[in-house]
Amino acid sequence: MRVVFMGTPDFSVPVLDALVEAGHEIAAVYCQPPRPAGRGKKDRPTPVHARAEALGLPVRHPVSLKSSEQQEAFAALNADVAVVAAYGLLLPQPILDAPANGCLNIHASLLPRWRGAAPIHRAIMSGDAETGICIMQMEAGLDTGPVLLRQATDIGPEETTAQLHDRLSQMGAELIVETLRRLPDLTPEPQPEDGVTYASKIDKAEAQVDWTRPAVEIDRQIRGLSPFPGAWTKIGGERVKLLASKHADGEGTPGMVLNGRLRVACGTGAVDLLRLQRAGKGAQDAETFLRGWTVAAGTCLSSE
């Protein structure tokens, strides 16, 4: 099929690779424009932009698709279908209508649960037992379109957003290839009205750990916000990111370290901190972290 691919971050790269490997003709790749990054604040192409150029594919990165010029240029591609994976720009109705088979979105949740910007984070932070991928026929509403195919997967008890992100990215790549292969025979199923939830964008204010909360909630917060923005606490007055954890047995004053291996008491129960990152340093597992900084039992971690 003649495909327009629309995606921007790392999540989208395996999808583009899978479409190419499946033999589809990529008419153009749309992604967000390069933006300043790094110490020099030089414009850096997005992961999809870089991958598309490496594959020798034509790249377009308009700031908006609202102008008639952009819409006409898109329609002129005469695509059979557009595949959208974390593109990040609103698609006006003329864009949605231009491909012969419309625009198909790869969404990282089991719709209608977790429509919106941060479905992977929210699934972990809410303690969902499973999540998955939906291939959705796009329409004007926010992730409201009918679903062509879906695939579920369990969320591991110690899985972080980074780990689940990578698994779902690969699942999405495989499922969109299957969807395009079966497209003439698939019937889009409207989403049920019951069970709708919205995955609002992650706010950095959500990252501060309040040790008076139950351990199960803190564990989900740490795993759900890893690696970005990263849940944090203060140890000896220094802010430290907490990037992996697991629920553990233990009781004590909230925020108190209960042993020499970074088991920390919460409002109820405790968590083991498995991976941490000091400011300006790389992430380390707990054992390596403790070689460079002794955090003795009885130390109190601060929420402020």
Length of the chain: 304
pLDDT at 77: 98
- In order along its 304 residues, the chain shows pLDDT tens digits of 999 999 999 999 999 999 999 999 999 999 999 988 777 778 899 999 999 999 999 999 999 999 999 999 999 999 999 999 999 999 999 999 999 999 999 999 999 999 999 999 999 999 999 999 999 999 999 999 999 999 999 999 999 999 999 999 999 999 999 999 999 999 999 999 999 999 999 999 999 999 999 999 999 999 999 999 999 999 999 999 999 999 999 999 999 999 999 999 999 999 999 999 999 999 999 999 999 999 999 999 987 7
Of 90, 83, 94, residue with least CA distance to 133: 83
Residue 68 identity: S
Element (H, E) at 181: helix 161-182
Strand order in the sheet with 2-7: 59-60, 25-30, 2-7, 81-85, 103-107, 130-137, 147-154
Which pLDDT score, from 0 to 100, does residue 40 have? 72
Q: What is the pLDDT of residue 41?
A: 75
Q: At what angle do helices 13-21 and 47-54 cross, to 10 degrees?
A: 30
First and final C-alpha spacing in the chain: 55
Residues 289 and 295: their CA atoms lie apart, in Å, by 9
Q: Are 162 and 179 within 8 A, CB to CB?
A: no
Distance CA 30, CA 16 (A): 11
Helices 161-182 and 13-21: crossing angle, nearest 10°?
30
CA 57, CA 225: separation in Å to the nearest integer? 34
pLDDT score, position 70 = 97
Q: How far apart are CA 272 and CA 67, in angstroms?
A: 52
275's tokens: 């991976």
Let me know the angle formed at the C-alpha of 171 by 169 and 177, rounded to the nearest 5 degrees.
105
| Alpha carbon distances (Å) from 282 to 201, 264, 277, 279, 285 | 26, 22, 6, 8, 10
Query: Is residue 65 within 8 Å of residue 95, measured between CB atoms?
Result: yes
